[in-house]
C-alpha cells in the first residue's frame, strides 16, 4: 500500500491513465482490498428512490444497473471526504428535494461531479472488455481526456481544502418542474462529451455543465431568470436542457486550472483558471438546425418531430417562449 498523499497534493490519474482498481479514484492510494469501493450514486439516494435495479445503458452497448456502478475508494476518502459530502446532501433533502437549493455552489458542483466522474470511470473500465468494440473508443478521445483532466483538478476539492479564486468551474441550474403522476421520482441524464449532467429528485432538477467556468450560466441568464420562478412543464424542462446541451456542445474554449504555490501556514489550496480560447472564440457559431436536432432528441417523449420544430427555420419551436419572446406558461401539453 503506497503512502497517503500529502494533504494539499493533487492526484493526477491521467498521468498513468490509471482510473480503476486498485487505486482510490480520489487520492490514488493503492487499496488493500479490491472490495474497497463506493457506489457512484450514493446508497442513501438509491435507497430513497429505489434505484439499485435502475437500468443504465453504457456506451459499449451493455446494460448495467445503478447499484452495480461503483468506483474504488480508500477508507480515508470514503469516511472523511465523500461520506460527509453525501451526508450533507442527504440531510439537506431529507424533508424535500427543495433542500438542493440551499446547498452552496461548491457542494452542488462536487456532488454532481462525483457521480459524473464515477460514470466516466465505469465507462472506461467497461471499455477494457467491451461487449461491442466501440467505433470511437473513449480511451482514444484526446479532447475528452483533456476536459476530464481539467475537471478532475477542481473536483479534488472533494478531498483537498480548495478555493476557486474568482470563478466557478461549472454552471449549475436549479429548476422546479411540475411532474405528473406518471413521472418517476428520480431521473438523470449525462453526456460525457459535453460535460453535461442533470439529475432530478422529485420536482427539483439540477442541470449542469461541469466544465465551463459558469459561461453557460452567464449567457443563459435571461432564460434562466425567466424559467426559475415557476414550475416548468416537463416539455419546457426538456427544452431548457436542449439549450444547455447544445450550448455546451458549441463551447470551444476549455478551462484550465492551476494551483497557486503554497505558502507556509496556508489552510487551503487556491486555484486559478485560464480559459484556453486561443482562436478568439468561446462559442462556435449557433445553427438553428443543429439546435432543432438537439430539441428533437429531448422532445422524443412528446413525439415532436424535426419538421414541426423547424416549421419556422429562423425560430425553432419553443414552449419556453411565445413568438413575441414572452415567457409561456404550459399547463397541459399540448394545450398552449
Residue pair 185/49 in contact (Cβ under 8 Å)? The answer is yes
Q: How many whole angstroms separate alpha carbon 268 and alpha carbon 13?
A: 22
Smallest gap from Cβ 117 to Zn ion, in A, equals 13
77-96: contacts with Zn ion (CB under 5 A): 77
Q: How far apart are CA 92 and CA 83, in angstroms?
A: 14
When the beta carbons of 23 and 194 are compared against Zn ion, the nearer one is 23
Residues 6+ apart with CB under 8 A from 156: 10, 11, 26, 162
Nearer to Zn ion, 36 or 296 (CB): 36
Instruction: Give Cβ neighbours of residue 125 (< 8 Å, ≥ 6 apart).
Output: 19, 20
Of 117, 191, 101, 103, the closest CA to residue 154 belongs to: 117
In the complex, least distance from residue 9 CB atom to Zn ion, rounded to whole angstroms: 12
Is position 160 an interface residue for Zn ion (rule: CB under 5 A)?
no
- When asked if residue 38 is in the footprint of Zn ion (CB under 5 A), the reply is no
Give 78 or 149: the residue with its C-beta nearer to Zn ion.
78
Q: Which is nearer to Zn ion, 28 or 255 (CB)?
A: 28
Q: Which range binds Zn ion by CB under 5 A, 70-78, 235-243, 265-273, 282-290? A: 70-78
For residues 12 and 25, give the distance between their C-alpha atoms in angstroms, rounded to a whole number: 10
211: nearest Cα among 275, 269, 264, 296:
275
Q: Is 24 in the site for Zn ion (CB under 5 A)?
A: yes
- Residue 158 carries which DSSP code? G
Judged by CB under 5 A, the stretch of 23-31, 58-66, 184-192, 286-294 that binds Zn ion is 23-31
Least gap, CB of 157 to Zn ion (angstroms): 14
C-beta of 74 vs 294, nearer to Zn ion: 74
Q: Which helix (H) or strand (E) holds 64?
A: strand 63-65
Return the residue of 21, 27, 40, 46 that touches Zn ion, per CB under 5 A.
Answer: 27
Minimum distance from CB of 25 to Zn ion (Å)?
7
Residue 189: which of 175, 170, 208 has the closest Cα? 208
Least spacing, CB of residue 76 vs Zn ion, in Å: 6
The one among 38, 45, 74, 251 contacting Zn ion by CB under 5 A:
74
CB of residue 268 vs Zn ion: minimum separation in angstroms? 19
Q: Which of residues 179-218 bind Zn ion (CB under 5 A)?
A: none
- Count of other CB atoms within 10 angstroms of residue 108: 20
* Burial (0-12, 13-18, 19+ Cβ within 10 Å), 321: middle
In the numeric block, the cell 483537498 is attached to 160
Residue 26 touches Zn ion, criterion: CB under 5 A: yes
On the CB side of 303, CA atoms within 13 Å amount to: 2
Residue span binding Zn ion (CB under 5 A) among the ranges 6-14, 19-27, 92-100, 221-229? 19-27
Q: How far is the CB of 211 from Zn ion (least distance, A)?
A: 22
CA distance 48 to 294: 32
Taking the least distance from each CB to Zn ion, the nearer of 77 and 310 is 77
Please identify, using beta-carbon distances, which residue of 65 and 80 lies nearer to Zn ion.
80
Judged by CB under 5 A, the number of residues near Zn ion is 6
CB of residue 7 vs Zn ion: minimum separation in angstroms?
A: 12
Shortest distance in whole angstroms from residue 160 CB to Zn ion: 11
Residues in touch with Zn ion (CB under 5 A):
24, 26-27, 29, 74, 77
Amino acid at each position: 500500500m503506497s503512502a497517503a498523499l500529502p494533504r494539499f497534493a493533487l492526484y493526477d490519474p491521467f498521468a498513468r491513465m490509471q482510473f480503476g482498481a486498485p487505486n482510490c479514484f480520489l487520492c490514488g492510494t493503492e487499496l488493500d482490498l479490491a472490495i474497497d469501493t463506493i457506489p457512484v450514486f450514493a446508497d442513501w439516494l438509491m435507497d430513497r428512490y429505489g434505484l439499485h435495479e435502475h437500468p443504465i445503458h453504457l456506451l459499449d452497448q451493455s446494460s448495467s444497473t445503478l447499484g452495480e456502478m461503483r468506483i474504488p475508494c480508500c477508507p480515508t476518502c470514503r469516511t472523511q471526504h465523500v461520506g460527509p459530502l453525501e451526508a450533507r446532501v442527504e440531510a439537506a433533502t431529507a424533508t424535500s428535494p427543495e433542500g438542493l437549493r440551499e446547498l452552496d455552489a461548491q457542494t452542488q458542483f462536487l456532488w454532481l461531479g462525483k457521480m459524473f466522474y464515477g460514470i466516466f470511470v465505469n465507462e472506461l473500465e467497461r471499455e477494457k472488455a467491451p461487449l461491442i468494440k466501440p467505433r470511437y473508443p473513449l480511451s482514444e478521445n484526446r479532447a475528452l481526456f483533456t476536459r476530464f483532466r481539467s475537471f478532475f483538478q477542481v473536483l479534488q476539492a472533494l478531498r483537498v481544502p480548495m478555493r476557486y479564486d474568482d470563478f466557478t468551474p461549472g454552471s449549475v441550474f436549479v429548476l422546479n418542474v411540475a411532474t405528473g403522476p406518471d413521472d418517476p421520482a428520480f431521473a438523470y441524464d449525462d453526456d460525457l462529451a459535453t460535460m453535461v449532467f442533470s439529475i432530478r429528485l422529485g420536482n427539483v432538477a439540477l442541470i449542469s455543465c461541469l466544465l465551463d467556468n459558469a459561461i453557460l450560466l452567464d449567457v443563459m441568464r435571461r432564460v434562466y431568470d425567466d424559467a426559475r420562478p415557476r414550475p416548468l412543464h416537463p416539455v419546457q424542462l426538456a427544452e431548457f436542457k436542449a439549450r444547455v446541451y447544445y450550448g455546451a456542445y458549441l463551447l470551444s474554449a476549455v478551462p484550465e486550472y492551476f494551483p497557486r504555490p503554497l505558502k507556509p501556514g496556508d489552510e487551503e489550496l487556491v486555484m486559478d483558471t485560464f480559459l484556453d480560447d486561443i482562436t478568439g472564440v468561446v462559442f462556435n457559431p449557433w445553427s438553428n438546425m443543429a439546435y432543432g436536432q438537439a430539441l428533437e432528441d429531448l422532445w422524443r417523449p412528446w413525439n415532436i418531430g424535426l419538421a414541426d420544430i423547424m416549421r419556422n427555420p429562423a425560430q425553432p419551436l419553443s414552449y419556453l417562449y411565445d413568438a413575441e419572446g414572452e415567457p409561456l406558461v404550459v399547463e397541459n401539453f399540448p394545450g398552449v
